[in-house]
Amino acid sequence: MYSDRVLVTEVDGVHAEDADPGGVRGVATSSSTLPSLMADMLDALDVRPGDRVLEIGTGTGYNAALLCHLAGAQYVTTVDRTEHLVATARARLGGAGFEPVVVRADGAGGHPDGAPYDRVIATCGVRRIPEAWLDQCAPGGLVVAPLRGAVARLTKLPDGRAVGRFLHRPAAFMPLRGEPDTGWEAAATHAGGRATEIDARALDDPGFAFWADLHLAPTVVRDGRALRDTADGSTAHAQGRTVALDGPRDLWRTVEAAHRTWLDLNRPRREWFTVEAGPEGQFVGYEAPDGTLLRRPL
């Protein structure tokens, strides 16, 4: 049966085909993306026959098969992190009549042997675009990748920079291995707590969640309504109009301040933001209705 939903295909390294019939408990480590989101990302990637394509995150091989159909299998390279994922996907693709290059590799490093690529697409979330993806993309090529809870579409410029915007829809992806771990639970006991000026459910709004994430320090990771600073151990876990705090800093103050500015700017949408990546750094930009330019580093 076909349906527009995410399918978890691996939990803590246990693959679906090897799982106990009663199910497996743990942290999901691989999945098949929502088909409609795949379609939007492929539309943004604008693959033409003969385009050299690099995919980061082979998974089941489903998206790689679509790329083979669009570009031609001989032009597609796809990488993933374990031999099991790679071997299984290779067999599935072969059974469907496709023989792309399927490689076990660290996704952050791309696959330099096949570079340069006209199109680079990732099916895993990152906080910054890895430099290897930009380096391996040809001038004029496109990079489509989940970035900070949204999907960024960047064009590689002749000067080595890549610039673009975000797609309109939210995008929750499992993080690239090596990215900060978000699979954690807030401690049951906390050093203190307080009332909060915003309801914790504000972070359930993907638009505000995107804006709030841009304001968090690079060492802070968010899991739903909970925050943790991997540098000093501070945590914040909000429920309703209260927030439980632990550690030397009140992380929730940043979320409250971000909410105030988000409302002041009339709730800017993610597709209004620009993104730039290059030797000088990576930045998200936004021009407010009054002409004020905002630029934040990733």
Residue-wise DSSP of 47-103: --TT--EEEE--TTSHHHHHHHHHH-GGGEEEEES-HHHHHHHHHHHHHTT---EEE
Across residues 94-122, what is the average pLDDT?
97
Q: Strand pairing partners for 245?
A: 192, 236
Mean pLDDT score across all residues of the chain: 88
- The more confidently predicted of residues 27 and 154 is 154
Which pLDDT value is given to residue 5? 67
List CB contacts of 239: < 8 A, sequence separation 6 or more. 200, 225
> Tell me, what's the pLDDT at 9?
57
Tell me what pLDDT residue 141 has. 98
- For 165, other C-beta atoms within 10 Å of its C-beta total 20
Interval 166-182: pLDDT, tens: 999 888 777 887 655 54
What percent of the chain lies above the pLDDT cut of 90? 70
Q: How many CB atoms lie within 10 A of CB 43?
A: 12
Q: Are 216 and 147 in contact (CB under 8 A)?
A: no
**Lowest-confidence region among 49-63, 180-194, 269-283:** 180-194
Kindly write down the DSSP assignment for every residue of 189-203, as one continuous string.
S-SEEEE-SS-GGGG
What token pair was written down for 211?
């804006």
Which H or E run includes 220? strand 220-223
| CA dihedral of residues 186, 196, 240, 209 (deg, nearest 10) | -70
pTM score of the predicted model: 0.86
- In order of their start, the domains of the chain are 7-170 (3.40.50.150), 192-264 (no CATH)
Q: What is the pLDDT of residues 27-70, one digit of tens each?
A: 555 566 668 889 999 999 999 999 999 999 999 899 999 999 99
* pLDDT greater than 60 at residue 217: yes
The predicted model gives 248-256 an average pLDDT of 96
Mean pLDDT of 11-37: 63
Structure confidence at residue 15 (pLDDT): 56
> Considering the chain, what percentage of its residues have pLDDT values greater than 70?
84
pLDDT at 81 over 80: yes
Residue from 120, 127, 126, 153 nearest 40 by CA: 153
Pick the range with the lowest mean pLDDT from 126-130, 186-190, 192-196. 186-190
Separation CA 55–CA 23 (nearest Å): 30
- Which of the four pLDDT bands, split at 50, 70 and 90, describes residue 7? low
pLDDT at 18 exceeding the cut of 70: no
Tokens of residue 97, six digits? 């009549």
For range 116-128, the mean pLDDT: 95
Say what the pLDDT of residue 109 is: 96
